[in-house]
Amino acid sequence: MSRSTVSRAFTRPDLLKPETVEKVLAKAQTLGYVPNKVARALSTGQNGVIALIVPDIANPFFPPLIRAAQVDADRQDFCVLLGDSAENPAQESRLITRFTPQVDGLVLAASRLDDAALAEHARRRPVVLINRDVPGMPRVLTDSHTGFMQAIAHLAELGHEHLAYVGGPPGAWSDHQRRRGIAAARTDHGMTLTTFQAEPATYDGGKATVEAILASGATAVLAYDDVVAHGVLAGLTEHGVRVPEDMSVVGCDDVFAATTYPPLTTISLRCAEAGEIAVSVLLDLVAGRSVGDVRHSLDSHLIVRATTGPVPRA
């Protein structure tokens, strides 16, 4: 049996007698034979590999996204090359350049690169953005807007009048988006808003803002994400402030909010779906199946758990 037949059994089974195909596949199974993608890539120009670059693998927002991306890519017979940019634009650019020759396309999550650099890289290979809104580039966004609207309505109902927002990484699309959404919603409800900055946007950064929050007189805090929210919770507790009796706290992401104690009221973002969709769009692009200005916006919603309550009586 010639190599051509084997090759066809894998790539164009329709050109072969079904029983032949089956025979080849069976034999391959027992032999543990798998077509070599590298060799195939050389001849077709398609490597069957995509890259996924995130700012920080260990940030709990990303693992579900990464997993979904990997699973979805695998389903379409693609592998994923993972890169961690350490929140560093230079490192991110270096990784992209390094990956580009050996992948068919890239997914860039929460890219720290500027629009021009992004466009430049996108000229060499198809690129799909996650949580970065650059017109003209395919992008999927976990939109926190609805969730924050609901959170603020929820807090308004509980009688809160003064909110604090603890912001995340300056320049991040997701932080901008939250700031804008919150500003709009609190106006609708005639609430006061004071904003702070978790520096860095981590547990410790969140914790460090607590003193300032307390001084501001806010009775409810909206955090950039669940990690920051937990930092705030810890800081509050250290200051003897009870949650939710004395202060309400709302997180964002819903990545581990449910699996910690106390259960955090938070905004659920569809982060896994974002990974999945980004991969689907990218593979459509790679296969030349898609066109147009793709802008996938995934909505969010508030999940009330145990860290929000009525405003304390002054």
The contact set with DNA (CB under 7 A) reads 1-5, 7-8, 10-12, 15-17, 20, 34-36, 39-40, 42-45, 101
What is the spatial distance between Cα 99 and Cα 120, in angstroms, rounded to a whole number? 15
Which of 16, 158 has the CB closer to DNA? Answer: 16
- Tell me which residues touch its own copies (CB under 8 A): 32, 34-39, 41-42, 47, 49, 56-58, 60, 62-64, 66-67, 70-71, 74, 79-84, 86, 95, 97-102, 124, 203, 227, 230-231, 233-234, 237, 256, 258-263
What is the spatial distance between Cα 45 and Cα 64, in angstroms, rounded to a whole number? 30
Which one, of 147, 200, 148, lies nearest residue 172 by Cα?
200
Cα torsion angle, 25, 29, 280, 121, sign: negative
Look at residue 288 and give the partner it binds from its own copies, DNA, none, a contact being a CB closer than 5 to 8 Å depending on partner kind: none
CB-hemisphere CA count at 13 Å for 307? 31
Residue with tokens 């449910």: 258
Q: Is 87 helix (H, G, I), strand (E, B) or coil?
A: coil
Minimum gap (Å) between residue 255 Cβ and its own copies: 9
Look at residue 294 and give the partner it binds from its own copies, DNA, none, a contact being a CB closer than 5 to 8 Å depending on partner kind: none
Decide: 96 and 51 in contact? Cβ < 8 Å.
Answer: yes
Look at residue 187 and give the partner it binds from its own copies, DNA, none, a contact being a CB closer than 5 to 8 Å depending on partner kind: none
What is the spatial distance between Cα 256 and Cα 266, in angstroms, rounded to a whole number? 10
Which of 40, 189 has the CB closer to DNA? Answer: 40
What is the spatial distance between Cα 157 and Cα 169, in angstroms, rounded to a whole number? 30
Look at residue 192 and give the partner it binds from DNA, its own copies, none, a contact being a CB closer than 5 to 8 Å depending on partner kind: none
Q: Is 60 helix (H, G, I), strand (E, B) or coil?
A: coil
Look at residue 28 and give the partner it binds from DNA, its own copies, none, a contact being a CB closer than 5 to 8 Å depending on partner kind: none
- The residue type of 106 is L
Minimum gap (Å) between residue 71 Cβ and DNA: 23
Phi/psi-derived region of residue 78, left when phi > 0, alpha when psi is between -120 and 50, beta in every other case: beta
Look at residue 84 and give the partner it binds from DNA, its own copies, none, a contact being a CB closer than 5 to 8 Å depending on partner kind: its own copies
Look at residue 11 and give the partner it binds from DNA, its own copies, none, a contact being a CB closer than 5 to 8 Å depending on partner kind: DNA
Tokens of 221: 């805090």
Minimum gap (Å) between residue 84 Cβ and its own copies: 5
Minimum gap (Å) between residue 87 Cβ and its own copies: 12
Decide: 41 and 250 in contact? Cβ < 8 Å.
Answer: no
Minimum gap (Å) between residue 188 Cβ and its own copies: 31
What is the spatial distance between Cα 181 and Cα 68, in angstroms, rounded to a whole number? 27
Which of 149, 227 has the CB closer to its own copies? Answer: 227
What is the spatial distance between Cα 23 and Cα 6, in angstroms, rounded to a whole number? 10
Which of 16, 298 has the CB closer to DNA? Answer: 16
Minimum gap (Å) between residue 32 Cβ and DNA: 12
Which of 35, 312 has the CB closer to DNA? Answer: 35
